[in-house]
Amino acid sequence: MKPAVLVSRAIFPDIVDRLRVHFDVQDNPEDRVFKKAELIERLAGKQGVLATGSERFDAEVLDANPQLKAVCNMAVGYNNIDVDACNARGVLCTNTPDVLTETTADFGFALMMAAARRIAESEHYLRRGDWKKWSYDMFTGGDVHGATLGILGMGRIGQGIAKRGALGFGMKVIYHNRSRLAPAIEAECRASYVSKEALLRDADHLVIVVPYSPASHHAIGAAELAQMKRTATLTNIARGGVVDDAALAQALAERRIASAGLDVFEGEPALNPALLTVPNVVLTPHIASATIATRRAMANLAADNLIAALGFGPNAGHPPTPINAAALKG
């Protein structure tokens, strides 16, 4: 009998078919979002799950399903998985790094440019029928080329954004990260390490790419926003909760910073309603990795991980991108 697995949300049907070769698959083509009780119920008897960021795997879910061996996220971020709880129970977790780096860096750069050049705000003005005449100072924004790009969180995606800024737009790139990058990587990104205070003070365009954890919760709040230039932009493509959305909405309303670009939100898909009332913010629904090619690559990598984690396929026992490889040995 094939082992049973769950595919928690709708994904490309041909990639579900790849799983069917090895597994008895319960998929979710109707794309229901499972709350905890339903997730626990759907996981009954499953050895593995191809998951997304919209389900939370915590001790309660794991304890209700002690047969579960692998949680394979179709996302690079994995703050939806309690990795310590998985470690304690020998559950392997995987994510999808690398395949989305360039696509996500493209999007972060686009969102930053849209905020700086007021693209969404001016488009809304035009759609409302408010454009009656051209004027010299209409929707004047901040330059991107030659400006100082500040990056908080300098992992793979942060490095991709740094290269775009430095090499494509002649930007001065500064970054802050938990640990400083090796000199060769700094040189490749043309990026200088600075303190968080200097990053906030000097960035014309601040892009947040730091993973969410209790340590990065509200890394940007009222106090940090107060240190930024009044002309600065802030872009968040990391996770909701890294930025205090209420404090940001207030800073935008009071023009204490110029504008923002947000792809992720605290409590998404719900939004802090204040964000919908300020004009100087570009809002997108968590789509930074959303190109067909990249979403396929993510789904295929998550499937490769699940197949290998449960002991099938060419990488049997060695999923390509484990988060907690130690669980493999347990």
The burial class, CB within 10 Å (0-12 / 13-18 / 19+), for 90 is middle
Strands (E) in the chain, as ranges, are 4-7, 24-26, 48-51, 70-73, 92-94, 148-152, 172-176, 191-193, 205-208, 233-236, 259-262, 281-283
In eight-state DSSP terms, residue 316 is T
Decide if residue 302 touches ligand GLV (CB under 6 A). Answer: no
Q: Which of residues 91-110 bind ligand GLV (CB under 6 A)?
A: 100
Q: Which of 75, 99, 114, 149 binds ligand GLV (CB under 6 A)?
A: 75
Among 80, 101, 289, 305, binds ligand GLV (CB under 6 A): 289
Beta carbon nearer to ligand GLV, 100 or 203: 100
Looking at the Cβ atoms of 83 and 222, the one nearer to ligand GLV is: 83
CB of 263 to ligand GLV, least distance (A): 8
Dist. CA 231–CA 142, nearest whole Å: 7
**Active site residues per annotation:** 239, 268, 286
Q: For residue 70, count other CB atoms closer than 10 A to its CB.
A: 27
Q: How many CA atoms lie within 13 A of 171 on its CB side?
A: 31
Residue placing its CB nearer to ligand GLV in the complex, 76 or 281: 76
Residue nearest to ligand GLV (CB): 77
Chain-centre distance for alpha carbon 176: 18
CA atoms of 11 and 87, how far apart (whole Å): 27
* 76 contributes a contact to ligand GLV by CB under 6 A: yes
Question: Binder to ligand GLV among 3, 45, 77, 311 (CB under 6 A)?
Answer: 77
Please, which residue, 147 or 207, has the CB nearer to ligand GLV?
A: 207
Of the candidates 18, 96, 78, the residue with the CA atom closest to the CA atom of residue 319: 96
Q: Nearer to ligand GLV by C-beta: 31 or 123?
A: 31
CB 220, min distance to ligand GLV, A: 17
Residue 112 binds to ligand GLV (criterion: CB under 6 A): no
Identify the DSSP state of 215: G
Q: In the block, which residue shows the tokens 């906030």?
A: 200
DSSP state of 216: G
> Residue 161 interacts with ligand GLV (CB under 6 A)?
no
**CB of 111 vs ligand GLV, minimal distance in Å:** 13
What's the closest the beta carbon of residue 92 comes to ligand GLV, in angstroms? 18
228 contacts ligand GLV (rule: CB under 6 A): no
Of 72, 123, 69, nearest to 328 (Cα)? 69
Per-residue tokens: 251: 């800073």
Options 41-49, 75-83, 168-176, 274-282: segment touching ligand GLV (CB under 6 A): 75-83
Q: 75 vs 154, which CB is nearer to ligand GLV?
A: 75
CB of 178 to ligand GLV, least distance (A): 18
Binding interface with ligand GLV (CB under 6 A): 75-77, 100, 289
